[in-house]
Every structure is written in C-alpha cells, then in structure tokens.
Amino acid sequence: MTKEVLESDVYEVFERIQDPNLVYPDYYLNPFHAYDEGNISWLVAVETEPATMSIAKRAIPEATPIEEASQIIRDNWLNVIEEHHLKYSGNSQVNDILDIGCSIGVSTRYLTEKFPSAQAVGLDLSSYFLAVVAQREEKLSRPKPIRWVHANGEATGLSSNSFDLVSLAYVCHECPARAITGLVKEAFKVLRPGGTIALTDNS
C-alpha cells in the first residue's frame, strides 16, 4: 500500500493542496507516534492506512477479511450519527459535512457514502495526509467530489452556520486540552442550528 502511494503523482497534488502560510500549533510540531516529524511527513502519510486497518482488526480480531473490521466499527459510528441526527434535527437532511482531522480521509469517505447527497469537506493540519486521499479521490467520479482543506481545525476559516454535521473522529486523543477546547468551539461555530457534532474517540 505504501509503495503504491509513493510511486503515484501524489507530490503534484501536495503542491496544490498545501497552504504554505499555515501556522502549526506548537503541539503539532512534536515527534509523535514514533515519527520524528510527527504528522508532517510522507512516511507517516503512507503508513497511516495500513495502521488504521490494523487498529480496527485489533479491536475486532475475529473479523475477516481485515476490511470487515473497519466496516463494523464505522457502521456502528455512522448508525449512531444518523439516529441522533434524525432525533434531534427535526428530520432535516444532511447537506453539508465537515470532517475535522480527516487524516487520509477514511472517516470522510465513510461519511460521504452514508450521506451521498451531501457535500463533504475533509480538513486536516497535515497536507501530506490530505495529498494521499485527494490523489486517490481525483480518480473517482463522485457526484459531489469531496473538498480537501489544509487548515487548523481550531480556526478553519469556514463560514459560521454552514454545516449540518461536524465530525471529530479519533482526533481529540491526539490533542492537548486547550486544542480540544478550540476544536469543539470551532465545531459549534460552523454548525447550523439543529446540526450534529459527532465526537468519537478511544476510551
């Protein structure tokens, strides 16, 4: 999987996607997950999908093939989001989705498949992660292609009241408390009245 990405045209996509003026929060510049450059490198970006899959397999070891483990975990998550939204949003449709901390887009793609008529935005601080998913997505013909935004989830630059669903999936456990506060405040800011914030994480 890693070789396939490294030998693709991901580098061109990276040039288009990155915001060279983005200022990273200090915690993001620390070594992380045993990578000296934290999340800001090609190595971590290409190893993230196999790592994500193996985490799911560890949670549900009996699932075979390995993709089945991810599907079970994500289906549980998506069903809870859908139920909650139906119950509390006055049955309003999900038209706009923001996936903060989308990484290589696994959560964003699952959300898009659950709510296919919605316009989704995947946002992350690592342009390496975004380039990996954007390069792959460019080959697909989705009716509403996902937008990929290189920004800090604490200050997205996106309009207030513009999303029906804001997701923070497996993001907060990687952040210091002050960043979690910033992320949740920003999620509330961009959420439409009656919208849903889905905050999911490891216990």
Ligand X SMILES: C[S@@+](CC[C@H](N)C(=O)[O-])C[C@H]1O[C@@H](n2cnc3c(N)ncnc32)[C@H](O)[C@@H]1O
In 3D space, the residue among 129, 132, 135, 134 whose CA is nearest the CA of residue 153 turns out to be 129
Question: Which residues in 138-174 are b (16+ Cβ under 10 Å) and which e?
Answer: eeeeeeeebebbbbbbbebebeeebbbbbbbbbbbeb
What is the per-residue binding string for ligand X in 60-99, x denoting contact by CB under 6 A?
Answer: ----------------------------------------
Binding residues for ligand X, total number by CB under 6 A: 23
Q: Which residue has the tokens 């498949």?
A: 113
Q: Crossing angle of helices 106-114/66-88, nearest 10°?
A: 60
Rounded to the nearest whole angstrom, what is the least distance from the CB of residue 5 to ligand X in the complex? 15
Please report, as residue ranges, which positions from 30 to 49 form the binding site for ligand X (by CB under 6 A): 39
Which residue, 36 or 194, has its beta carbon nearer to ligand X? 36
Which residue, 42 or 170, has its beta carbon nearer to ligand X? 170
Please report, as residue ranges, which positions from 150 to 179 form the binding site for ligand X (by CB under 6 A): 152-154, 169-171, 174-175, 179
Asked if 127 interacts with ligand X (CB under 6 A), we say no
Cα distance between residue 45 and residue 109, in whole Å: 17
Which residue, 94 or 169, has its beta carbon nearer to ligand X? 169
Cα distance between residue 29 and residue 192, in whole Å: 32
Binding site for ligand X (CB under 6 A): 25, 39, 52, 100-103, 106-107, 124-126, 129, 152-154, 169-171, 174-175, 179, 183
